[in-house]
Structure 1
Amino acid sequence: MTAAAPRRKPRRQVVLLRPVPGRTVMHDLWAGSKLLIVAAIGVLLTFYPGWVPIAAVGVLVVVSARIARIPRGVLPSIPGWLWFLLLLGAVTATFAGGSPEFTVGSVTVGLGGLLNFLRITALSIVLLGLGAMVSWTTNVAEVAPAVAKLGRPLRALRIPVDEWAVTLALALRAFPMLIDEFSVLYAARRLRPRDVDARRRARVSQWASEMIDLLAAAITVALRRADEMGDAITARGGAGQISAVPSGPKRRDWIAFAIVLIVCGTALALELTILGTSGPRR
């Protein structure tokens, strides 16, 4: 008897724009508060991308995930080629040298480039985690009213804030549906039998024909979904109802603002005075 081949563990897909079920403080925060917090943290890390602010924001993300009871299953599997690219980037950045340096025999190795690469990688991971937290704890239907309320001062300039908010909400709502539809189309394409042809030109022509068929099917599915969504919006009173839902910050939102302000302010003070040396790039 031959031993059965080990089954390959299926990869976990990226779960975005779909809130994790639950009712926690993070889920109950106003969507506009989350958007403002993400924007403020993004500005902070843009001008002061030091280790201390990155670590402070990382702690905020981890604590928020614990409070929101985010399961580990929502984290996607990291492919092997991404680890290889990170390792290649780290090795390449090491050749840039820079302080601090250490000597091995007669060779002086600088770790400045490697530390900068690690800092940029950590910054990217923190920002991705921050965006994922908003996605996992925010219902898409709450985004349009929040954007409309935050953009209310722009109405004096005759900027169509409500229309922009509705467009953003529809795009966020349609994105997961289209991903599911395209996944089904791709799976159906892989199940189709393929004609094996030894000629390279024939294989290229077959591949191009399959891609054209797949794109045509994807466009058809997108148009069908758009028509169904338009009928649903019309039946519920029109697009104006999407951004007309009353929303606004509450007491828990002001507490969240205060916590973020204290943590980020403390991290910035430490970065500029005691622990850090990197200021804003000029």
Structure 2
Amino acid sequence: MTETSRRQRRQVVLLRPIPGRTVIHDLWAGSKLLIVTGIGVLLTFYPGWVPIAAVALLVAVAAKLAHIPRGVLPTVPRFLWFLLLLGGVTAAFAGGDPVIGVGSMDLGLGGLLNFLRITALSIVLLGLGAMVSWTTNVAEVAPAVATLGRPLRPLRVPVDDWAVALALALRAFPMLIDEFSVLYAARRLRPRDVEVKRRGRGRRWAAELIDLLAAAVTVALRRADEMGDAITARGGAGQISAAPSRPKSRDWVAFAVVIAVCGVALALELTILGTSGTRG
């Protein structure tokens, strides 16, 4: 039993806030969206080691303040480690600066360092998105988007409709994942006919795939009908984005901290470290 539980993989937990009342949980959803957007723009134009490290530090501190347990982290499949190793070895053949001497050979580490930087950037961005998912209630997203899009209303942009569509998509995504998991598990429990010929096995897999897709579409339509009835009973789709949503004093403190950390990291990247890297 212990061996089985040890081998059991932890699934990805997204779009489901972790229970708790912390400083990060109490931040306005619009503030989190703006911070993520700003950090994404920063790392898009300046994907250096210093900005990546600064954002990783912010994510780590936010996870500590939000009391995020280690159990929410998914288990990394073995094939992903193999792909990362294969990508690192392949990128190492590209060479480039810096160059180190190994015996009588010169080995360029530029390609490997670029691969490691891109990998670290991807991990940091995934962690940033996961932090927003783990500390934000889905019901708070639509009012925040409606508030942020208020300047676009004079241009006749359907901000409220977009906010409602986003909220419904975020609500439906976890439910559909659970339904598809149940369908797949039920399908695996069904007895299978042993086919000796390769053509028979191919037809069986095709039939199972068609049955699974048909069941998934049926479940999605049933869930959509139930969600529509629930929305109508609660006053219509307009109530989803009509809740009052405003930033508070703690949100401005969070903005100040993020701007300060990212500003210092960008200054170091463009001045001291950038100059030393150019000289090297």
Amino acid aligned to 1:90: G
Contact 1:51–1:276 (8 Å) recurs in 2: no
Equivalent position of 2:15 in the other structure: 17
Equivalent position of 2:38 in the other structure: 40
SS at match of 1:222: helix
Amino acid aligned to 1:143: V
Change (3 A) 1:275 1:45: same
Alignment of 1:107-256 (within 5 A): 107-256=105-254
State the Cα distance separating 1:107 from its structure 2 match: 1.6
1:88 matched to 2:86: yes
Q: Which runs of 4+ in 1 moved over 2 A?
A: 4-8, 276-279
Equivalent position of 1:53 in the other structure: 51
Amino acid aligned to 2:118: I
Provide the rounded CA distance (Å) in 2 between the counterparts of 1:232 and 1:12.
32
Amino acid aligned to 1:105: G
Amino acid aligned to 1:23: R
Provide the rounded CA distance (Å) in 2 between the counterparts of 1:6 and 1:77.
16
SS at match of 1:59: helix
CA deviation vs aligned residue, 1:105-130 (integer Å, no higher than 9, x gap): 22211000000000000000000000
Provide the rounded CA distance (Å) in 2 between the counterparts of 1:90 and 1:203.
37
State the Cα distance separating 1:261 from its structure 2 match: 0.5
Contact 1:93–1:114 (8 Å) recurs in 2: yes
Amino acid aligned to 2:169: A
Provide the rounded CA distance (Å) in 2 between the counterparts of 1:43 and 1:127.
11
The count of aligned residue pairs is 276
Amino acid aligned to 2:235: G
Provide the rounded CA distance (Å) in 2 between the counterparts of 1:231 and 1:6.
45
Equivalent position of 1:106 in the other structure: 104
State the Cα distance separating 1:6 from its structure 2 match: 4.8
* Candidates 76, 79, 92, aligned match of 2:77: 79
Provide the rounded CA distance (Å) in 2 between the counterparts of 1:135 and 1:6.
31
Provide the rounded CA distance (Å) in 1 between the counterparts of 2:274 and 2:153.
42
State the Cα distance separating 1:104 from its structure 2 match: 1.7
Structure 2 unpaired stretches of 5+: none
Change (3 A) 1:277 1:244: farther
CA deviation vs aligned residue, 1:6-25 (integer Å, no higher than 9, x gap): 53610000000000000001
Give the TM-score, by structure 1 length.
0.96
Give the TM-score, by structure 2 length.
0.96
State the Cα distance separating 1:5 from its structure 2 match: 11
CA deviation vs aligned residue, 1:131-161 (integer Å, no higher than 9, x gap): 0000000000000000000001111111100
Kindly report the root-mean-square deviation, in angstroms, between the aligned alpha carbons of the 2 structures. Answer: 1.5
Change (3 A) 1:218 1:272: same
Provide the rounded CA distance (Å) in 1 between the counterparts of 2:42 and 2:183.
42
* Candidates 60, 64, 70, aligned match of 2:68: 70
Change (3 A) 1:277 1:192: farther
Amino acid aligned to 1:253: D
Change (3 A) 1:157 1:231: same
Provide the rounded CA distance (Å) in 1 between the counterparts of 2:121 and 2:20.
28
Amino acid aligned to 2:233: A
